[in-house]
Amino acid sequence: MPELPEVEVTRLSFADRIDGAVVRAVRLGKPLRWPLGIDVIELLRSHVGAPRRRGKYLWLPLSRRSVDAGGLLLHLGMSGSLAFVSRPAAPGPHDHFDLVTSAGTLRLTDPRRFGAVVWSPSIDSGLAGKLLTGLGVEPFDDEFDGDLLWRALRRRRSAVKVALLGGDIVVGAGNIYACEALFAAGIDPRARSHRISRRRCARLAQAVRETLAQAVELGGSTLRDFRDARGCVGEFQLTARVYGRAGQPCPVCGTPVRRVVQGQRSTYFCPSCQRS
């Protein structure tokens, strides 16, 4: 599943090219998770503003004659990707949405159709507002620090990794990034959230921020078929120190990396370097 770094990398790969473009046509393929929510005719001749990201969602603001015309909220689902090209090929069976603009065509490809493109009157209202309500803070915001994390975790009895994956404390710490951040912070992913000290929470918050920043810099992770809007693959997975390395030596101490299952997700950690 594309996580926050992959979504941010995707945004960066087309944001400057689509900003200010005029919508010329909209093509809908097979139904996605939710209906578009507006007649496609209403989107024509709209101007696309600078794309924004909230968690794993992208928001494309629209305007018409300098008047706000709502926007499109996009989600890549489990296996979706966006491409932005000047001359797209004929749509295939998994190409379910085309936004044709004066600068190029933004196409959503999603083999499993768990992704979505929905119109809302604003990012804070309509279906967009409902979907974004309850998301945690952004990991790169100043608000996200050790104190915020400690206050949130002290009310939880779940394992710390499960708490991170929930997305209601901080967004973006997907499975691979939660594993890597917990390793960097030296915290056992099975440790109970409420038992983690304020000092260790400060380390963990910093590790989450640095791990996600590194992932964005490396183009995200391509574990299967992720590509950004230019068609480039990510390389963060090549630098992973514990994720996907069960049985291999820890890069710090040499102890074999362990794999356990938490919340139906694989967790990788070093039993020597990471303590409860």
Q: Which of 2, 61, 139, 189 is catalytic?
A: 2
The single-letter code of the amino acid at 60 is L
CB 111 within 8 A of CB 171: no
Q: Which of 53, 56, 200, 209 is catalytic?
A: 56
Helix (H) or strand (E) holding 260: strand 258-262
Catalytic-residue membership of 265: yes
The C-alpha angle 48, 53, 58, rounded to 5 degrees, equals 60
Q: How far is C-alpha 208 from the geometric centre of its chain's CA atoms?
A: 14
30 noted as active-site residue: no
User: Has 56 been annotated as catalytic?
Assistant: yes
- Given 17, 192, 241, 265, the catalytic residue: 265
Q: Which of 242, 225, 243 is nearest to 234 (CA)?
A: 225
Helix (H) or strand (E) holding 150: helix 146-153
State yes or no: is 161 an active-site residue: no
Helix, strand, or coil (residue 215)? helix
Catalytic site residue from 3, 8, 138, 180:
3
Residue 245 half-sphere exposure, CB side, CA atoms within 13 Å?
21
Q: Please tell me the distance from the alpha carbon of residue 249 to that of residue 42, in angstroms, as a whole number.
A: 57
- The three-class DSSP label of residue 153 is helix
Catalytic site positions:
2-3, 56, 265
